[in-house]
Chain A
């Protein structure tokens, strides 16, 4: 469950317009997801249970990363299939309203995203690429949490 919540956080930060700006700071959203998974896990540990270990944290981080990749890409594809480019439109409106300073390449990126075609192959490639990177950063986030919450010896 903690990995699921961590994965959900990562997928939400990635997919929701506005929130995904958090990932501009070294994938902070992904690091946070791994961190959250460990935070939730260690909160459920009672004194009569075995203390959580570094290996537990690693597993939590990796699972959160994998879950986030599948969920994130799935949400994005489903929303685009049903609603069209609504996420992109919302993002553009948000950018205008928030007076966000973005370089011109950002708008090129948006146009490329609008024109990109969805297929099974692109879905698999996106899941694999995002899965690898999200797993790595979520794992690092979980390790950071281990160093913060490790049982004092």
Chain B
């Protein structure tokens, strides 16, 4: 599964990289902004992209907000940790417990912040977001690796059939 995990990590790093690179591209495009606008629009389908709730590079916001950035980077870093640890790769985790532990904090923080019960902070958004990303990575890394493995197997079989 290590090869498949490497591919998954590569794909996730491209996603995370685009989040950070989009403001850099926006700066380099000063005025036109075609490429950066495409990326902002793409990521805008999954995030509100509020300027006041996003990290900034070179006076342009990341492609997603702080919470989403923490989710995706939490996901990515967990995959890297799983890749480096055989114990984590084979560990069985109770699904519902994991979902509750990782989803409840972000849900509570989001709802309480939305209804002005308290004002969430950058730190809270990062913590709850990265916890959620970590949980999703621990839950799904095996399934996603298996999908990549079967995709490669199908592609290989198809290629072998064609060369015969």
Taking a contact as CB atoms closer than 8 A, the residue among B42, B95, B113, B143 that contacts A129 in the complex is B42
CB contacts (< 8 Å) of A101 on chain B: these are 113-116, 119
B114-A21 in contact (CB<8A):
yes
Number of chain A residues close to chain B: CB under 8 A: 30
A54-B146 in contact (CB<8A):
yes
A132-B129 Cα distance, complex, nearest whole Å: 22
A119 sits at the interface (CB 8 A): no
How would you classify the secondary structure of chain B's contact residues: helix, strand, loop or mixed?
helix
Count of inter-chain pairs, beta carbons less than 8 A: 71
A148-B136 in contact (CB<8A):
no
Mark interface residues in A122-152 (1 if CB within 8 Å of B CB, else 0): 0000000110111001001001101110000
Of B25-33, B50-58, B83-91, B156-164, the stretch lying at the interface with chain A is: B50-58
Chain B nearest CB from A36 CB (Å) reads 15
Chain A nearest CB from B16 CB (Å) reads 14
B95-A148 in contact (CB<8A):
yes
B139 sits at the interface (CB 8 A): yes
Chain B nearest CB from A130 CB (Å) reads 5
CB contacts (< 8 Å) of A27 on chain B: these are 46
A148-B100 Cα distance, complex, nearest whole Å: 12
Q: List 28 A-B contacts (CB under 8 A).
A: A26-B71, A26-B106, A26-B132, A28-B107, A54-B147, A58-B147, A98-B115, A99-B115, A100-B115, A101-B115, A102-B114, A103-B51, A103-B53, A106-B50, A129-B41, A129-B45, A130-B45, A132-B42, A133-B45, A133-B46, A134-B45, A143-B143, A144-B139, A146-B143, A147-B95, A147-B140, A147-B143, A148-B99
